[in-house]
C-alpha cells in the first residue's frame, strides 16, 4: 500500500516511544510505501482535488537521522491507499478545518483513518458523556454555580479544560474548597469557556490506564500511567510512570462494549483512559503507548494495527 501519514513535524519525533513511528516501521517492514506531511501542507483549490505537499520517506534504522527523504511532491490525497491522520491535540480550529478538507478528500475517493467526521464528532473528553454507565460523576459546564454545587455534593473533585492534553490544566480541589473560585475563573475564562468537572477517583494511585482498541477489538494489555511524587496526574507527559499490565475484567468489558460501536463510526484506533473501574476519556486523534506495551510485554501492537489497517483499506 501507498500510505500517507499526516503528523506533527517528523523532526520532533522521539522514536524510542513514538507510536506513529512504530506504525511507520511496521508498514515499511511489510513493504508499504511511506509519505508524510503536516496538516498545513494540505490544500483545497476551487475545482481541484484536495492535495498535499508530501515527502516520500524511508526509515533508515538509525537513532538520529531516522528517516530519509526520497522526494518532495504534490499529490492528490485520493491517490494514496490509506491516509493516517495522526496530528496530536489540541483540537483547535485548524484541526477542525483539516477534518473538513479530509472529508472532501473522502468524497473524492480517499480512505482516511480515523475518519475525519468521526474525529470531529468525538471530542476526547466530552465523548465519554454518551456512555454514562461507564463513567464516574461528571459535569460539563461553564457556570461557576454549577461547579460549586458539584463540589458541595462530591467534596473532592478534578477540574480540567475540554481541549487539554498530556495532563495540561488539570486541578484537584479537596473538601476545603481551597482556590475553587480562582481555578474555575482560570479554566472557564470568567464564564466564556466550558470545562469538565469530575469526582476525584482515589484509584489513580494505581494508574490511569490506557486501553487501546483496534478495529473494534481491545489490545490485551493496557499501560497504567502511575503518578509520581505529589502529582495527581498520571500522564507520561506530566512525569507519570508507565507500567504495562493485562486488562482487568472491567477494562475488557468497557473496551468490548465501546469498541464495535466506535469502530462502526469510523474510528479504527481509539485509546480509552480508565481509572479504577471508570472511563475518563476516549482518545481518538493520535492514541499512543504502542511501544511501551511492546517493550514490556512483547505484544506487537503495531502489527495488530497494521493488520486492521490493511483489512479496512480493502473494504
Annotated catalytic residues are: 125, 160, 210, 225, 233, 273, 281, 283
Torsion, Cα of 87, 92, 94, 99 (10° steps):
60
Task: Please give the DSSP secondary-structure letter assigned to residue 182.
Answer: H
Q: Are the CB atoms for 169 and 161 separated by under 8 Å?
A: yes
Strands 241-246, 221-226: pairing kind:
antiparallel
Give the C-alpha distances (Å, rounded to integers) separating 120 from 61, 100, 102, 129: 35, 9, 11, 15
Q: Which residues contact 186 (CB under 8 A, 6 or more apart)?
A: none
Q: Residue 45, exposed/middle/buried by CB under 10 A (0-12, 13-18, 19+)?
A: exposed
Helices (H), ranges, the chain:
19-29, 93-107, 116-121, 144-154, 180-188, 249-264, 290-297, 301-314
Helices (H), ranges, 108-176:
116-121, 144-154
C-alpha cell at 186: 482560570
Q: Are the CB atoms for 103 and 77 separated by under 8 Å?
A: no
Radius of gyration of the chain, Cα coordinates, nearest whole angstrom: 20
Amino acid at each position: 500500500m501507498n500510505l500517507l501519514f499526516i503528523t506533527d513535524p517528523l523532526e520532533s519525533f522521539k522514536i524510542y516511544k513514538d507510536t506513529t513511528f512504530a506504525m511507520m516501521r511496521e508498514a515499511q517492514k511489510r513493504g508499504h510505501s511511506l509519505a508524510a506531511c503536516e496538516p498545513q501542507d494540505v490544500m483545497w483549490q476551487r475545482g481541484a482535488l484536495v492535495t498535499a505537499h508530501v515527502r516520500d520517506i524511508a526509515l533508515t534504522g538509525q537513532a538520529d537521522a531516522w528517516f530519509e527523504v526520497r522526494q518532495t511532491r504534490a499529490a492528490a490525497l485520493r491517490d494514496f491507499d490509506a491516509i493516517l491522520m495522526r496530528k496530536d491535540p489540541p483540537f483547535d480550529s485548524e484541526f477542525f478545518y483539516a477534518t473538513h478538507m479530509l472529508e472532501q478528500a473522502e468524497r473524492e475517493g480517499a480512505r482516511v483513518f480515523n475518519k475525519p467526521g468521526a474525529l470531529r464528532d468525538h471530542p476526547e473528553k466530552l465523548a465519554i458523556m454518551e456512555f454514562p454507565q461507564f463513567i464516574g460523576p461528571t459535569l460539563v459546564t461553564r457556570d461557576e454555580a454549577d461547579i460549586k454545587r458539584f463540589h458541595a455534593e462530591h467534596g473532592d473533585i478534578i477540574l480540567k479544560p475540554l481541549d487539554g492534553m498530556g495532563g495540561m490544566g488539570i486541578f484537584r480541589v479537596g473538601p476545603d474548597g481551597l482556590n475553587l473560585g480562582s481555578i474555575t475563573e482560570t479554566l472557564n475564562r470568567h464564564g466564556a469557556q466550558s470545562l469538565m468537572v469530575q469526582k476525584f477517583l482515589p484509584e489513580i494511585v494505581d494508574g490511569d490506564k490506557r486501553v487501546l482498541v483496534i478495529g473494534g477489538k481491545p489490545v490485551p494489555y493496557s499501560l497504567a500511567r502511575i503518578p509520581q511524587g505529589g502529582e495527581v496526574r498520571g500522564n507520561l507527559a506530566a512525569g507519570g510512570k508507565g507500567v504495562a499490565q493485562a486488562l482487568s475484567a472491567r477494562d475488557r468489558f468497557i473496551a468490548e462494549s465501546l469498541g464495535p460501536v466506535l469502530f462502526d463510526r469510523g474510528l479504527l484506533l481509539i485509546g480509552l483512559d480508565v481509572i479504577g473501574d471508570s472511563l475518563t476519556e476516549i482518545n481518538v486523534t493520535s492514541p499512543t503507548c504502542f511501544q511501551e506495551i511492546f517493550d514490556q510485554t512483547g505484544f506487537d501492537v503495531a502489527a495488530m494495527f497494521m493488520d486492521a489497517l490493511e483489512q479496512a483499506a480493502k473494504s
